[in-house]
Structure 1
């Protein structure tokens, strides 16, 4: 299911470096699901109810929100959190792991299009009403994705003992 999607750009410009950092942790999020059943990825492993597929779904919604809605770009329908602020943290009835991973990958593609087309100093309006730059959004999404990748590390270890902080290089 998962392999690194791009090599590490050790000597690249700022945008390439930031996007590569984000992508490496996106890859980790999907990798943490490898080899697990639908039941295992949905299993709440801590009292808050956090589960692996919920983290992936949350990040997909966040990428569409931050990179697309903030900069006036289209998104597909996002999870409605108006009645339940945690609705994007778990699979809904009828949503499969494959559905959510595909949603996350479509969010990457939409986010990447915005990142590649806009300059880092482009500004947009966040859901809070605050004006933010693409640079800030990239750093924020790296922070959010890394934070949730850490959660995923712990959840995966609790499920089956699996550990690791980066997708192994198949070569």
Structure 2
């Protein structure tokens, strides 16, 4: 309370003390995405993900690269997650052992890769002369790399949003 002024008393608002943020008890060295290996398959498999994890871990000599979990995705692929202190890139050194274990379980492997963050975006002003398909995508990707950084990778074949007939009279789209 402050001093009285006339019939009114001025009240000063008390400042709330800032609560200290709790320190997390456990903070992993690498994020979950950085610790995941994705096994893309060519056909569905009835194999239990825990069987995959057990067999893969048995094949890998380095215990720091063992997996703590395995799960199936809706597209019938598998995701193997490394320990909290091991990045997926280190575990990828054992891709051959992982593939051998999966073949033993008759899992039809297409690709084994480390998971990574990705983005989907729309580009404007692309010359219509670049064409279509992967060659056009590589050309656009190299242009993006030169302007925005070397870390850009093309994950899928880019596609035009407009139809070819619509782009015929345009120089850019």
Pick the structure with more strand per residue. 2
Q: Which has the higher contact order (CA 8 A, sep 6+)?
A: 1
Q: Same fold (TM over 0.5)?
A: no
> Structure 2-normalised TM-score?
0.24
